[in-house]
Amino acid sequence: MNWPSRHTSLGEPKSKTRLTFARRLRTVAAVKIDWQQYDPGTAFDELIRAPGQPHSAAAALTRYLASLSPKMLESRQEAAERAIVEMGITFTVYSEGRNIDRAWPFDIIPRTIAAREWDQVAAGLTQRLTALNLFIDDLYHERCIIRDGVVPEEIVATSRNFLKACIGARPAHGVWANVCGTDLVRDADGTLYVLEDNLRVPSGVSYMLENRIITKRVFPELFQDSSIRSVDDYASQLFEMLNSLSPRDVERPEVVVLTPGIYNSAYFEHAYLAQRMGVELVEGCDLVVGDDDCVYMRTISGRERVDVIYRRINDTALDPECFEKDSLLGVPGIMRAWRAGKVSLANAPGSGVADDKVVYAYVPRIIRYYLDEDALLPNVPTYLCSEPDKLEYVLANLDKLVVKPANESGGYGMLVGSHATRKEREEFAPFVKANPRNYIAQPVLNLSTVPTLIEGKLEPRHVDLRPFILQGASTSVTAGGLTRVALRRGSLVVNSSQGGGSKDTWIVEAEPEAATQRRRR
């Protein structure tokens, strides 16, 4: 909000804190951006094909950036950072025994993807989620895929995310994972791989939306001249999808967002989505299951029935009657209500069985089995430590591999072998040996890079991409997604809780022939 008394305009920094002053001192020596000097090394760069040669989707952007002086670029970065603080875009980290509300780290240089390429990716993501949902539904019913020997039974038997309480349940449209965040990475040869599927409570979409708002403020000129796909209908699509899950056939089903509360790292996002959809943001204590097995919320006029719950708390915290007895976040009896078909939960409990990293290795086979199609998006080659010969290979080649626990998220508990010390590798190996089912290994990919503003200069930094896929009565994919960037030189860890930042992601339509020619002349 702009208060009259201290109206700020972009490109004209007013708050001269010590930090920005120091940064400006460093940039005095910097020169105008010269794409000839920018060298992504062996990695694939998302903007620049080779020194001085942008990809066609990035042509307008790189041309424009080259016209800015470093000082102008810096002042726009400052404007963006100020906007983030003033808009209150935060994430919460748990550190030194307390929760800290931190400003969202953001880099103003966008990442571009050609619309033609993106359409294929979106088709691949739709295909993948469709197959995964058929797979989950199958696991909780007939288990044809196990009977037919495509996926071994142990996978289900040993999965921490397979919930017995869900066997036989019938979520709306047969869809279990309604909201999926799939992480994509691009290797040095330019191929996009699926790194993992997040089918439980994927987060980040609000940052994708806010990143766009900030970028529009910072580079309005660019949106005028190029055709960049809009992202801002996500909330309407989410709302429509949730509506399509309602067990009652009423005109306006009661949809709510269930949050663990303000201390959760993604609380900002929960509030953001509830606000954008115009629905209530509830905590466990706001909900109660009646004797009729319906879920009600406590309102100022008494109890009101709830039809659809977009829950952002984990499966096992959902219902103390059913799972963790001491969970204060959940709602006693909610599983009973869900099984009785009185309320819809998105994502359905138990969906996590398919985002197990061991199941991941089988996804191409799962797609073939249910859809009779080849996977449009490739998997990263994956070694299952549960298979003895693979385990042996993994232990012998720890220095070349990334080893991940099958059930953790957020980059915790993993070992990046090439970056780890010998001692770290030796300490990690016994964990894998002791519980091989719980680990997978993948080759270290040389993640693609995007130019990133580091101390006044553009340097390549590694990125990934998390698009979001919604599936209810129909399926939709976001235009692009959340690009996360590892801000430390050479680092591959993009998680915001571990020093990562983010960027806006542009899906750029090809420039019409005429416009290109005009510019050439």
Partner 1 sequence: MLSRVAERVYWAGRYLERAEDSARLIDVHSQLLLDLPPTVGIAWPQVMEIIGLTDEPVRRGRAAERDMLKLLLTDEACASSVTATIAMARENFRTTRDIVPTEAWQGVNELHIFARTQLRWAVGKRRRHDILSEIVTRVQQLRGLLSDTMSHGPAYQFLCIGTNLERADMCTRIIDVAVASLLKDPERLQRYDNTLWMSTLKSVSGYQMYRQYVRRRIRGPDVLAFLFQDADFPRSICHCLAQIEQCMTNLPKGAALTRQLNALSKTVVALDVKRLDNAALHVEVDRFQLALADLNQQMTATWFSPVE
Note the residues at the interface with partner 1 (CB under 8 A). 1, 3, 5, 85-88, 257, 262, 271-272, 274-275, 280-283, 285-286, 297-302
CA distance 286 to 298: 5
Q: Which is nearer to partner 1, 88 or 190 (CB)?
A: 88
For the CB of residue 225, give the shortest distance to partner 1 in the complex, in Å: 28
In whole angstroms, give the CA distance from residue 133 to residue 57.
33
Enclosing H/E stretch for 82: helix 70-87
Q: Which is nearer to partner 1, 9 or 301 (CB)?
A: 301
Name the minimum Å distance from CB 302 to partner 1: 8
Least separation in angstroms between residue 16's CB and partner 1 is 13
CA angle 517, 223, 221 (to 5 degrees): 85
Closest CA to 84 of 218, 225, 230: 218
Q: Of the two residues 287 and 402, which places its CB atom closer to partner 1 in the complex? A: 287
Q: Measured from the CB atom, is 5 or 421 closer to partner 1? A: 5
Structure tokens at 105: 């780290």
Please give the C-alpha separations between residue 78 and each of 19, 24, 108, 483, in angstroms, as whole numbers: 10, 10, 10, 20
* Residue nearer to partner 1 on the CB measure, 278 or 430: 278
To partner 1, the closest distance from the beta carbon of 336 in angstroms equals 19
Q: Assign 278 to helix, strand or coil.
A: coil
**Shortest Cβ distance from residue 288 to partner 1 (Å)?**
8
| Spatial contact of 102 and 90, defined as CB atoms under 8 Å apart | yes
Nearer to partner 1, 231 or 282 (CB): 282
Find tokens 């972009």 and name the residue.
10
Cβ closer to partner 1: 194 or 279? 279
CA 408 to CA 498: how far, in whole Å?
15
Instruction: Tell me how far apart the alpha carbons of residues 110 and 504 are, in angstroms, rounded to a whole number.
Output: 5
Nearest-Å Rg of the Cα atoms of the chain is: 24
Q: Is 81 left (phi over 0), alpha (psi -120 to 50) or beta?
A: alpha
Do the beta carbons of residue 205 and residue 234 sit within 8 Å?
Answer: yes
| In the complex, least distance from residue 2 CB atom to partner 1, rounded to whole angstroms | 9
In the bound complex, what is the minimum distance in angstroms from residue 424's beta carbon to partner 1?
A: 39
Residue 150, CB-side half-sphere exposure with 13 Å CA sphere? 18
Q: Is 486 helix (H, G, I), strand (E, B) or coil?
A: strand
Query: Closest approach of Cβ 285 to partner 1, in Å?
Result: 7
Backbone angles phi, psi at 12, to 5 degrees: -140, 75
**Residue 280 C-beta: closest distance to partner 1, Å:** 6
Q: Minimal distance in Å, beta carbon 273 to partner 1?
A: 8
Number of other residues whose CB lies within 10 A of the CB of residue 323: 17
All residues at 6 or more sequence positions from 371 whose CB lies less than 8 Å from its CB, including other chains = 127, 130, 131, 134
DSSP letters spanning 367-422: HHHHH-S--SSPBPP-EETTSHHHHHHHHHTGGGEEEEETT--TTTT-EETTTS-H
Q: List phi, psi (to 5°) of 349.
A: -60, 145
Which of 213/416 has CB closer to partner 1?
213
